[in-house]
């Protein structure tokens, strides 16, 4: 079963306009979806076909010139209902944020201070560099939702870098370190 986020993004793109699976995959790039949802090209194709089979999308086979046939998908009334259902369900879920580096901060007490500070510095630099890279990409997006998503990502990376600096001060300079000393 597809994640509801993937399904929601596909149905939302079909609300914008009918498109082929290839165009849908490109739309995920244009909307910058892959920055915050794991969605591969095969996943786009599989889920679009599944939505078609479930009656949430309709498909029309077209042939343009010498190009091979392709199916152009459009959203159905059932698909619109599903979109609204998923939007409400997603908005009602408890907020969650996942940070892959937290196991590092949770285990700093098991390594020496020099190595720990190096790891934190690496994390800070990585988050700041990513924030700068993302900020540089924002003007490249025409769609407001893509620019807004990128802005949120950049701000989050900066916030995490600031938090890591504060955590390092508190952990090493605030007397919290115990196990590795």
- Taking only the tens place, the pLDDT of each residue in 69-92 is 999 999 999 999 999 999 999 899
Alpha-carbon distance of 73 to 20, in angstroms, equals: 6
* Structure confidence by residue, pLDDT tens digits, 22-42: 999 998 887 778 877 888 999
- Write down the pTM of the prediction: 0.71
Q: What are phi and psi of 60, to 5 degrees?
A: -125, 125
Helices (H) and strands (E) in the chain, counts: 7, 2
pLDDT given for residue 100 in this prediction: 87
Q: How far apart are CA 32 and CA 150, in angstroms?
A: 8
Bridge partners of residue 70, in order along the sequence? 62
The pLDDT confidence band at residue 96, using thresholds 50, 70 and 90, is confident
* Mean pLDDT of the residues in the chain: 90
């Amino acid at each position: 079963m597809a994640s509801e986020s993937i399904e929601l993004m596909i149905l939302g793109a079909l609300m914008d306009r009918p498109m082929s699976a290839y165009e849908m995959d490109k739309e995920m790039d244009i909307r910058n979806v892959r920055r915050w949802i794991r969605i591969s090209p095969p996943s786009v194709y599989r889920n679009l076909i599944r939505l078609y089979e479930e009656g949430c999308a309709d498909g029309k086979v077209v042939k343009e010139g010498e190009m091979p046939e392709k199916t152009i998908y459009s959203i159905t009334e059932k698909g619109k209902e599903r979109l609204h259902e998923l939007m409400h369900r997603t908005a009602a879920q408890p907020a969650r944020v996942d940070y892959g580096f937290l196991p590092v901060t949770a285990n700093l007490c098991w390594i020496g201070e020099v190595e720990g500070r190096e790891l934190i510095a690496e994390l800070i630099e990585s988050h700041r560099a990513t924030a700068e890279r993302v900020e540089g990409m924002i003007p490249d997006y025409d769609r407001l939702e893509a620019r807004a998503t990128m802005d949120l990502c950049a701000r989050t990376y900066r916030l995490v870098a600031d938090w890591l600096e504060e955590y390092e001060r508190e952990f090493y300079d605030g007397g919290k370190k115990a196990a590795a000393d």
